[in-house]
Amino acid sequence: MKTIKYEDFSFRYLHQKKSEKALDNISFELDKGMVVGLIGKAGAGKSTLVKTLNGLCPQVDIGYKDGSLFIEGDKVSDFEVNEMATKVGIVLQNPEVQIFSLTVHDDVAFGPSNLGVPADEILKRVERVLDALELTEFGHRSPNNLSGGEQQLLAIAGILAMEPKVLAFDEPISMLDPIGKEQVLNAMFSVAEKGDTISIITESGADIEAVAEFVDYIIVLDHGKVVASGKPSEVLQSDLVEEIGVGRPQISEIFISLKQGGTAVKEIPVTLTKGVESIKNLLEKSKIKTISLPKNGKKKAKREFGKTVIEIDNLHHVYKNGVHALKGVSLKIPQGQMVGIIGQNGSGKSTLAKHVVGLLKPTNKDAVLRVGDIDCMDRKTKLEDIIKVSNYIFQNPDDQLFAETVKGEIEFAPRMLEMTPEEMEEEVKHAMDIFGLWESRNRYVYGLEEDLKTYLAIACVLPMHPEILLIDEPTTGLDTQGERLMMESLHRLNDEYGKTIIIITHNMKTVANHCDRAIVLSKGKIILDGTPQDVYSQTEKLLEADIYPPQVTRLGQALREYGFPDNVLTVDDMVEILKQNLKQ
């Protein structure tokens, strides 16, 4: 008996037309012990599929269902959602809404207690699970005091204590720093290793490298249909994953390029370890002990920047609850630079950004904080003045969007600035043009796709003509294709309109591929500041900030003994090095 069996399963939400389906005629079977990656771009149906496992769709997220789903032989539609909790555990993206109790210990006990598990057995399970996820020392702490990664681990612990047969994780790592991602994935893997559960993880593309390291089976969803499935090495080398916008791990990209260039490649690796091994084999076959580096390689043209537009010196910020969030931060950013700020959850990135737009003031009087020509330390400086020079787009566009239509939303700032109708019309059109929103101008804001919502959030501040734009996680929730388009739009603002762009992100590839400069914050201090090449080559220092460089950089670092540089940033650069040497 298979643990999961979908038979011609279809589902459509109440708001969808008959011709549209969130899940379209799904049929597959999965056996216990498998670690399954459910990949597809945003809106492909991954979350809906996960929610069908315990009947959340259609019982809570109401809609129309066809076909059958069996978990361990039981037809899911015959049970209530909470009854299915004994068999299916789901970990959602946001840990904050999954933690109910006031201590870590109590929260892990919450699930089994609801299921009526005997008290002594609950205590044993709690101890076992906390130990397995290395959370024992936090047992009596308040969950509020855990980091993002630890909170997600706690959410997983709460599910594990219920001992379900199917564990499904709905994009559980997208909001975490690289080490947090690894912690969570390790926990998942250690559970799956025991062999009596199925673990399913959904992924849109940004963390495909991390996920590919752990899964042993992949199902690809597109427009609600299963379009491919199989071993990661088979599925991830197909062009299909690229076509549907998910993208492949960088390591696979390198080998596919080599194969297309005529290098004899037996298998496309999907993990870093396999990739390192395969390259070593190729080098040994070619009897290469030390590689030569391309002399006239494609070097990024050095860009010229303008005058300093942000000047910060010795900035401290202590919150009212005593948390010292920024500890003497100093930096200068010139006009036109594209900067990536990275660091672990809680490192002070957002606090720093809020100072640059005037939402927060330094708590020490001797700090220097200048934005454009404005001295933010001057008591007379008003927020209204700063936001016309420097503006900030929060991570969640839903925090700022409120109007009915796209056009109405963009008109808000010009109206607040009391522009004339003609000026307003011109500004709104200009902002829409930059992000290609003109065609969607009359669309209902809440019905927009995630990428359009982020575009709209940025477009909304453009009528104020800020020369500096800070954007928090612009690519979160986007698939690889969406991420590429978003970054192209930001480049346009940077190149054509001379805006200084500062992005705050957990996506190391975005910084490597798009930024002129990377600033690493750890525990309120800048620990690294330089070009992405310089920053990513300092692995030990990066670990202080719970950061791993992108997979391609780590590949070069793992092959240092052969003379590979430790600061390769892009797949193209690595392919160029390999092609040159493997030809010889």
In the set 384, 433, 488, 495, which binds other proteins (CB under 8 A)? 384
Q: For residues 274 and 265, what is the distance between their CA atoms, to the nearest angstrom?
A: 13
Q: Which residue has the tokens 């950004």?
A: 353
Q: Under 8 Å CB-to-CB from 496, ≥6 apart: which residues?
A: none
Q: For residues 260 and 242, what is the distance between their CA atoms, to the nearest angstrom?
A: 15
Q: Kindly indicate which of the ranges 139-147, 272-280, 294-302, 336-344 contains the residues binding other proteins, using the contact rule CB under 8 A.
A: 139-147
Task: Name the pairing type of β-strands 35-39 and 468-472.
Answer: unpaired
In the set 74, 262, 266, 416, which binds other proteins (CB under 8 A)? 416
CB 52 within 8 A of CB 76: yes
In the set 83, 313, 426, 566, which binds other proteins (CB under 8 A)? 83
Our finding on whether 200 is near other proteins (CB under 8 A) is no
| Nearest distance from C-beta of residue 81 to other proteins, angstroms | 4
Would you state the structure tokens that stand for residue 582, as one six-digit string? 């493997």
| Nearest distance from C-beta of residue 471 to other proteins, angstroms | 12
| Nearest distance from C-beta of residue 456 to other proteins, angstroms | 12
Nearer of residues 116 and 195 to other proteins, judged by Cβ: 116
Q: What does 469-509 look like in DSSP terms, one character per residue? A: EEEESTTTT--HHHHHHHHHHHHHHHHTT--EEEEE-S-HH
| Nearest distance from C-beta of residue 60 to other proteins, angstroms | 6
Would you state the structure tokens that stand for residue 371, as one six-digit string? 């934005």
Our finding on whether 474 is near other proteins (CB under 8 A) is no
Q: For residues 563 and 40, what is the distance between their CA atoms, to the nearest angstrom?
A: 37
Our finding on whether 13 is near other proteins (CB under 8 A) is no
Our finding on whether 464 is near other proteins (CB under 8 A) is yes
Q: How many residues bind other proteins (CB under 8 A)?
A: 68
Would you state the structure tokens that stand for residue 455, as one six-digit string? 């575009």
Our finding on whether 444 is near other proteins (CB under 8 A) is no
Distance of CA 77 to the CA centre of its chain: 33
| Count of residues making up the chain | 584
Nearer of residues 449 and 572 to other proteins, judged by Cβ: 449
In the set 3, 48, 52, 98, which binds other proteins (CB under 8 A)? 98
Nearer of residues 253 and 409 to other proteins, judged by Cβ: 409
CB 459 within 8 A of CB 436: no
Would you state the structure tokens that stand for residue 481, as one six-digit string? 């294709």
In the set 10, 16, 77, 103, which binds other proteins (CB under 8 A)? 103
Nearer of residues 159 and 236 to other proteins, judged by Cβ: 159
Q: What does 171-201 look like in DSSP terms, one character per residue? A: STTTTS-HHHHHHHHHHHHHHHHTSSSEEEE
| Nearest distance from C-beta of residue 528 to other proteins, angstroms | 28
Our finding on whether 97 is near other proteins (CB under 8 A) is yes
Q: Kindly indicate which of the ranges 53-61, 241-249, 272-280, 366-374 contains the residues binding other proteins, using the contact rule CB under 8 A.
A: 53-61
Distance of CA 379 to the CA centre of its chain: 38
Nearer of residues 73 and 322 to other proteins, judged by Cβ: 322
Interacting positions 292-351 with other proteins (CB under 8 A): 320-322
Class of residue 272 by CB neighbours under 10 A (exposed 0-12, middle 13-18, buried 19+): buried
Nearer of residues 117 and 282 to other proteins, judged by Cβ: 117
| Nearest distance from C-beta of residue 464 to other proteins, angstroms | 7
Our finding on whether 288 is near other proteins (CB under 8 A) is no
Q: Kindly indicate which of the ranges 101-109, 245-253, 334-342, 542-550 contains the residues binding other proteins, using the contact rule CB under 8 A.
A: 101-109
Q: Which residue has the tokens 């916008």?
A: 245
Q: What are phi and psi of 511, to 5 degrees?
A: -65, -45
Our finding on whether 286 is near other proteins (CB under 8 A) is no
Interacting positions 22-51 with other proteins (CB under 8 A): 51
Our finding on whether 172 is near other proteins (CB under 8 A) is no
Task: Name the pairing type of β-strands 338-343 and 500-504.
Answer: parallel
Would you state the structure tokens that stand for residue 171, as one six-digit string? 């994009």
In the set 31, 74, 114, 366, which binds other proteins (CB under 8 A)? 114
* β-pair partners for 226: 221
Distance of CA 135 to the CA centre of its chain: 24
Q: For residues 549 and 543, what is the distance between their CA atoms, to the nearest angstrom?
A: 9
| Nearest distance from C-beta of residue 83 to other proteins, angstroms | 6
User: Which of 503, 466, 459 has the alpha carbon at shortest distance from 350?
Assistant: 503
Our finding on whether 112 is near other proteins (CB under 8 A) is yes
Our finding on whether 354 is near other proteins (CB under 8 A) is yes
Our finding on whether 543 is near other proteins (CB under 8 A) is no
Task: Name the pairing type of β-strands 390-393 and 35-39.
Answer: unpaired
Residues in touch with other proteins (CB under 8 A) = 51, 54, 56, 60, 81-83, 85-86, 89-90, 92, 94, 96-103, 106, 109-119, 122-123, 141-142, 144-145, 158-159, 162, 320-322, 354, 357, 359, 383-384, 387, 391-392, 394, 396, 398-402, 412-413, 416-417, 446, 460-461, 464
